[in-house]
Amino acid sequence: MDIGRRTFIKGAAAAAALAAAGLPAAFPKAALADDGLTWGKAPCRFCGTGCGVLVGVRNGKIVATKGDALAPVNKGLNCVKGYNLSKILYGEDRLTKPLLRQGDKFVPISWDKALDLVAEKIRETLASSGPDAVAMFGSGQWTVHEGYVASKFMKAGIGSNSIDPNARFCMASAVAAFMNTFGSDEPMGNYEDLDLGDTYFLWGANMSECHPILFSRMTANRLKNPKVQIIDLATRFTRTSQEADRYVEFQPQTDLALANGIAHVIVREGLYDEAFLAENVTLKKGKTDIGYGVEDKFSFSDKGEAISFDQYRAFLKDYSPEKVEAISGVPAATVEELAKLYADKNRKVCSYWTMGFNQHTRGTWVNNLVYNLHLLTGKIAKPGEGPFSLTGQPSACGTAREVGTFTHRLPADMVVTNPEHRRKAADIWKVPVEKIPAKPTYHATEMLRALDRGDIRFLWVQCNNPFQAAPNTGRFRAAARKEGRFVVVSDAYPTKSTEVADLILPSAMWVEKEGMFGNAERRTQHWFKQVDPPGEAKEDLWQLIEVARRLGFGKLFEYPGQDLHHALFEEYRRFGLGIGKDLAPYEVYQKERGVIWPYVNGESVKWRYNTEYDPYAKKEKEKGISFYKNKKEHKKAVLWARPYEPAAEVPDGDYPFWLCTGRVLEHWHTGTMTRRVPALHRAVPEALVELHPEDASRLGIRNRDRVLLTSRRGSLELRASVGERGVPGKGSVFVPFFDEHRMINDLTLDAFCPISKQPDYKKCAVKVERIG
């Protein structure tokens, strides 16, 4: 009987799927169909998964989008955000004219006046305070072209390193650890690992809600293969925990101890791969007691010191399963079991993580510690085996990381502190090498602090919303309105950031311009412009170049007789050729559903460092793995001994709860797009505070009661959610940050990882009171 019912469901779903599968064939460039409808390809505008969609345009307006059946990432599927993608362009309050602040009001002005004013303010600032005082707050949602132009604008035009993206808030710790472990940013594997592995450890990643299409792929793997196990390691029970085979809850910040505990058992039991270690791994320890960056102008740089395997073994003595249990709350027996799963020679193990690891005052360390588990067991850079850092923004990888729109970076993993790197950049950019400053200035959080102090006088924000998304936003919102600051915000909609701007520039978004995004699996995806932006809105790239012209360095962006986007990309591509960061020619992206780099001899390298797949590795040795990018470590990966250290702010008598922030499936980031889609707004109209049922009952708080949350920095009223979609651990509360009417970041603490400078949005102390 039950079988009959299930068969029916499957039949019905298959029929529905087939109906939806009547998709048009490949249209690389928008192609005209019979009914005046054209279909073009593009990656989704939201998260770092990079699902492909087809964009249906009629009479200059997008009338539909649908999952692209030919896109390898998603095979025609979308999440509910992606399903509603076209609607983000058509919110009623799109910005269509430049707006200048006059007192408390904004008045429309012409583009000419607006751009002249931007140039004038930059010139004034350069004269009064020097180039470092001119700053650009960029974005992992910038297209590759936009990020490249912005970076060149700042580093080769203005001569300032005061550029940093919001990607600092979401994956800087992943970058820092990729660099100090492998000498090259971004994962070695790709999404096929979701299909090919059999043991999945999720560390601080609510994949089911935040990377829903990828999680659906992992779930499908389990449906096909009974061996597959999904283990969710987290501080909050989520829809991912519900789907997982096993949920292991640890106390906030103690993932450091747990990862070391797993390593302890692997080493104690001799479960490590000795040959792999000898061939491919070198061991180091770094500085300890490294601080939290809560004070202005905090500075830190790590220093590695080589250690022996015996020293590492001695270091791990502090992380016996019993000691780990005392720190983390995870039973010793569980630590043993997890270690044995990691090390089981018959299991293909992958680790996935996102913000739980990266937004962490020891974010670089905890990334290092999960690499350790893969290096110890040799389960890395092979199909279905390896560590994989997921990303939250559509081009955190493609733009922020690969183009290098950080204060310390240049394209293709290069840094401004390295004279050779500066020379290469100056060469390609055709500027004197002295033009590119050798010293990094402000990372994202410090940039906002510098605005407050007055060290930054001119700030241009593009394509993101830091005055809602930054930690401890209250301070920075006030800073923006201080005398003697000039804040320009380029956006498509009014946001919490445009609210504090002096000048608002209306931006084209997504397929209103040509662009490229790079997703978490190193896949770069191109789209053509498919509709005109509304009113006078213009792409961010045009805005930058127009100001460059007015400042006298417009030549940096002149490519006579060539298509601008094409020429910009081909110039940018020169940075990565021949060094394992090879991108494909522009024409290839125009045709393909994205291309994974490195792209060598006309083919994508699916698993970097693996001689079977990567010609660069093959050059190094006949067989096995070569971490060829880590030249200064003799082409070995570094296993770092990193201890457990407590969080920056820990609950106490006055503020007895942990506050963790995050996302829900229905909204993306600060909600400036998804909250303008009526269907998504209807689905999740407001941010709620989730409490553990026992805490709620102790405080007399019932579902949907009004609750006041207070931290040392601010307070906020919210309705309670008890025992619903997410259940934080006892002593913790959780609030998503999408809701501009409930600004949870007024409460968060601007403590960060001293190595990566990425803030910890997952841990600060609050008190919880029932209202009324």
- Tell me which residues in 705-724 interact with another protein (CB under 8 A): 724
Q: Looking up tokens 């494909």, which residue turns up?
A: 584
State yes or no: cis peptide before 226, omega within 30 of 0. no
Dist. CA 140–CA 93, nearest whole Å: 24
Which residue number, 475 or 725, has a Cβ lying nearer to another protein?
725
Measured from the CB atom, is 220 or 278 closer to another protein?
220
Respond yes or no: is residue 44 known to be catalytic.
no
Minimum Å gap between C-beta 626 and another protein is: 30
- The tokens of 358 are what? 């990266």
Question: 62 to 91, contacts with another protein by CB under 8 A?
Answer: 67, 74-80, 82-84
What residues from 679 to 698 belong to the interface with another protein (CB under 8 A)?
679-680, 682-684
Determine the Cα–Cα distance for residues 161 and 117; give it in Å rounded to an integer.
Answer: 22
Q: Which is nearer to another protein, 243 or 279 (CB)?
A: 243
DSSP string, 351-366: EEE-HHHHSSTTHHHH
SS (H, E, C) 676-714: HCHHHHHHCCCCEEEECHHHHHHCCCCCCCEEEEECCCC
Which lies closer to another protein via its Cβ, residue 177 or residue 213?
213
Q: Which helix (H) or strand (E) holds 728?
A: strand 727-728
Stretch that binds another protein, among 211-219, 261-269, 637-645, 733-741 (CB under 8 A): 211-219
Cα dist. 162→158, 159, 438 in Å?
10, 9, 12
Please say if 393 is a catalytic residue.
yes
Cβ-based nearer residue to another protein, 14 or 306: 14
Among 107, 220, 314, 478, binds another protein (CB under 8 A): 220
Q: Which two structure tokens, joined as six digits, stand for 278?
A: 């000898």
Kindly report the backbone phi and psi dihedral angles of residue 625, in degrees, each rounded to the nearest multiple of 5, phi listed first. Answer: -115, 140
Indicate the residue among 31 and 63 with the shorter CB distance to another protein.
63
Q: CA angle, 172 as apex, 166 and 174 as ends, to 5°? A: 140
Least distance between another protein and beta carbon 464 (Å): 25
Work out how close the CB of 229 gets to another protein at its nearest, in angstroms, rounded to a whole number.
9
HEC assignment per residue over 101-131: EECCEEEECCHHHHHHHHHHHHHHHHHHHCH
For another protein, give the closer residue by CB, 244 or 492.
244
Residue span binding another protein (CB under 8 A) among the ranges 126-134, 380-388, 580-588, 677-685: 677-685
Choose the stretch contacting another protein; rule: CB under 8 A; options: 1-9, 477-485, 561-569, 574-582. Answer: 1-9
Query: Rounded distance, CA 190 to CA 197, Å?
Result: 12
Is 171 catalytic? The answer is yes
Please state whether beta strands 52-58 and 61-67 pair in parallel, antiparallel, or not at all (unpaired). Answer: antiparallel
**Is residue 13 within the footprint of another protein (CB under 8 A)?**
yes
DSSP label of 592: S
CB 68 within 8 A of CB 41: yes
Smallest distance, Å, CB 13 to another protein? 5
Tokens 């994989």 appear where? 388
If the CB atoms of residues 247 and 300 are measured against another protein, the closer one turns out to be 247
Question: Which DSSP helix (H) or strand (E) runs through 564?
Answer: helix 564-573
Q: What CA dihedral angle connects 442, 445, 446 and 449, to 10 degrees?
A: 140
350 labelled catalytic: no
Assigned token pair, 116: 């002249």
Please give the Cα distance from 307 to 26 (Å, whole number).
Answer: 54
The sign of the dihedral angle between the CA atoms of 105, 109, 112, 113 is negative
The residues in 381-440 that bind another protein, with binding defined as CB under 8 A, are none
In the bound complex, what is the minimum distance in angstroms from residue 33's beta carbon to another protein?
22
Q: To the nearest whole angstrom, how small is the minimum distance from the Cβ of residue 392 to another protein?
A: 16
Q: What is the longest distance spanned by two Cα atoms in the chain?
A: 81
Q: Report in angstroms how near the CB of residue 352 gets to another protein at its nearest.
A: 16
Residue of 50, 52, 66, 81 marked active site: 81
Closest to another protein by CB, 325 vs 446, is: 325
Which residue, 334, 366, 330, is CA-closest to 351?
366
Q: Is 771 in the site for another protein (CB under 8 A)?
A: no
Q: Which of 3, 9, 25, 127 binds another protein (CB under 8 A)?
A: 9
221 binds another protein (CB under 8 A): yes
Using CB under 8 A, pick the residue from 96, 219, 417, 590 that binds another protein.
219
Strands 486-491 and 458-462: parallel
Half-sphere exposure of 14 (CA within 13 A, CB side): 6
Residue 624 — left, alpha, or beta (φ > 0 → left; ψ -120 to 50 → alpha)? left
Q: Which of 56, 82, 392, 729 is catalytic?
A: 392
The Cα angle at residue 550 between residues 549 and 553, in degrees rounded to 5: 45
Q: Which two three-digit tokens encode residue 432?
A: 């004197």
Mask: binding to another protein, 617-656, rule CB under 8 A, as x and -?
----------------------------------------
Q: Which amino acid is at 11?
A: G
Stretch 167-196 residues interacting with another protein (CB under 8 A) = 195
Does residue 198 bind another protein (CB under 8 A)?
Answer: no
Residue count of the chain: 772
Residue 508, helix vs strand vs coil: coil
Examine residue 739 and tell whether it contacts another protein (CB under 8 A): no
Nearest approach in angstroms of CB 329 to another protein is 4
Which of 129, 216, 320, 590: binder of another protein (CB under 8 A)? Answer: 216
Shortest reach from residue 139's CB to another protein, in Å: 25
> Measured from the CB atom, is 79 or 516 closer to another protein?
79
How many residues line the site for another protein (CB under 8 A)?
A: 71
Pick between residue 245 and residue 274 the one whose CB is nearest to another protein.
245
Shortest separation between residue 449's beta carbon and another protein, angstroms: 37
Instruction: Give 400's DSSP letter.
Output: I
Shortest spacing between CB 256 and another protein, in angstroms: 16
Site for another protein contains 725 (CB under 8 A): yes
Q: How far is CA 498 from the centre of its chain?
A: 23
Task: Using the rule CB under 8 A, give the single segment among 26-34, 88-96, 214-222, 578-586 that binds another protein.
Answer: 214-222
Q: Among residues 347 and 635, whose Cβ is nearest to another protein? A: 347
Options 44, 154, 170, 660, the catalytic residue? 170
Structure-token pair, residue 624? 């096995």
Range 226-265, binding another protein (CB under 8 A): 239, 241-251
Of the candidates 51, 188, 207, 355, the residue annotated as catalytic is 355
Q: Which residues in the 142-161 window bind another protein by CB under 8 A?
A: none
Nearest one of 49, 756, 7 to 406, comparing CA atoms: 756
Residue 462 interacts with another protein (CB under 8 A): yes or no: no
18 binding another protein? (CB under 8 A): yes
CB-wise, 193 or 546, nearer to another protein? 193
Instruction: Spell out the residues 6+ positions from residue 89 whose beta carbon is closer than 8 angstroms to its own.
Output: 62, 509, 510, 512, 531
Sign of CA dihedral 29, 33, 38, 44: negative
Report H helices in 302-432: 309-315, 321-328, 332-343, 355-358, 363-377, 419-429
Residue 666 CB, shortest distance to another protein, in Å, is 6
Does 530 qualify as catalytic in the annotation? no
Stretch 331-350 residues interacting with another protein (CB under 8 A): 331, 334
Dihedral pair phi/psi, residue 186, rounded to 5°: 85, 155
Q: What's the closest the beta carbon of residue 601 comes to another protein, in angstroms?
A: 28
Candidate ranges 14-22, 104-112, 348-356, 759-767; the one touching another protein (CB under 8 A)? 14-22
Among 41, 152, 168, 217, which residue sits at the site for another protein (rule: CB under 8 A)? 217
Name residues contacting another protein, limited to 291-330 (CB under 8 A): 328-330
* Catalytic-role residue among 251, 393, 525, 530: 393
Which residues are catalytically annotated? 81, 170-171, 355, 392-393
